[in-house]
Amino acid sequence: MPSISNSSPKILVSGANGFIGTWIVRVLLKRGYSVRAAVRNEAKGKPLLEAYRSYGDKLQLWVVGDIGKDGAFDEAVQGVDGIIHAASPINVTVAEPKEIIQPAVKGVVGMLTSAFKHGSSVQRIVFTSSCAAILPLSVESVTVSEMNWNEASIIECDEKGKDASRLSKYSASKTLAEKAAWDFYEKHKSEVNWDISVINPPWVFGPVIHDVTTVDTLNSSCKRWYDALAKGDFGGYSPLTSPGHGWADVRDVAEAHVRALEVPAAGSERIIICAGSFVWQDWLDVANSMSPYPWPSNTLAIGTPGAIQRAITFDTSKEKEILGIKFKTMEELTRDTLADYERRGW
């Protein structure tokens, strides 16, 4: 199936005002694309329009309301060449697993259904999944790839219901939403002109350009990063072992989404986007080793220097072969993010 080939392409981005979505919009606009930014309501989109007003009518807001409603994207998909579906519920404080699973599944199926019925001009759909759909955590050293699926979280949610862990509820929602996307595509691929590409990032950190006014309004991954570096708060776990997962800079994740639109070989592929493995102590060590001091108005936590244990390694050979991202380093991410905090007076 073709990647985006129109000489003046227009891309629909859902979740366009979110942490990752706003960066995706920036990359697209800088590449010369026109962007239809799908937002829940006009107020959510105003900061986006203000941030990118220099692009004029290259950026268009499109209010879709509740993305869980049938037909929410029916009009939004019309006349676009590609879609990046980055919107997804991230509430991890739900009681019953279905409270997060159902909206996640319905959101992606709703987008694909709208594209199936009304997206005659669409050539490719890029869907934001997560490495939580591959493996959420591990206490033993393990290497995983796109061949792995996080079935354990689904099983835990089925067996324990509201007593399942927050992480399992979230991970099950990501796993089942991605499975639903692949199932829909396999069922209808002979009837459509588009294909799909799925991006699986792990923990995503980096500078914030969406509408955030205080530390407490940071998205969940950035808030955890802030708490670790500013407060030495590691969620009750040792910084030498927790969270034992992978990381990526939000700017690289955004770049990966756009390349997945452009590179023909990305079609029908599930692609892990990961710069490396980490525990919180890694970030503390990097930040505290910087000169000049990267956060003049604050004092960085030190943590517990010692023997670091990184459990999960993500096999990123597919990403290297297809997309070829040159990932930003921990030093670059840390320096730029702390400089952002300094500018904000945090």
Is 174 marked active-site? yes
Helices (H), the chain: 19-30, 42-51, 98-118, 151-160, 166-188, 220-226, 250-262, 280-288, 317-322, 330-344
Beta carbons of 206 and 336 less than 8 angstroms apart: yes
Beta carbons of 126 and 202 less than 8 angstroms apart: no
Which of 10, 44, 174, 328 does the annotation list as catalytic? 174
| 196 bridge partner residues | 125
Beta carbons of 313 and 277 less than 8 angstroms apart: yes
Write the CA distances from 2 to 65, 125, 238, 260, integer angstroms.
31, 11, 47, 11
Residue 112 CA from chain centroid, whole number: 18
Write the CA distances from 78 to 65, 74, 102, 111, 276, integer angstroms.
17, 7, 25, 12, 38
Peptide bond before residue 264 is cis, with ω within 30 degrees of 0: no
Write the DSSP string, 188-245.
HGGG-S-EEEEEE--EEE----SS--SGGGS-HHHHHHHIIIII---TTS-TTTSS-E
Kindly report the backbone phi and psi dihedral angles of residue 197, in degrees, each rounded to the nearest multiple of 5, phi listed first: -135, 135
Contact residues for 182 (Cβ-Cβ < 8 A; gap 6+): 196, 198, 270
Distance of alpha carbon 283 from alpha carbon 303, whole angstroms = 10
345, exposed or middle or buried, with CB in 10 Å at 0-12, 13-18, 19+? exposed
Q: Which amino acid is at 16?
A: A
Provide the annotated active-site residues.
174
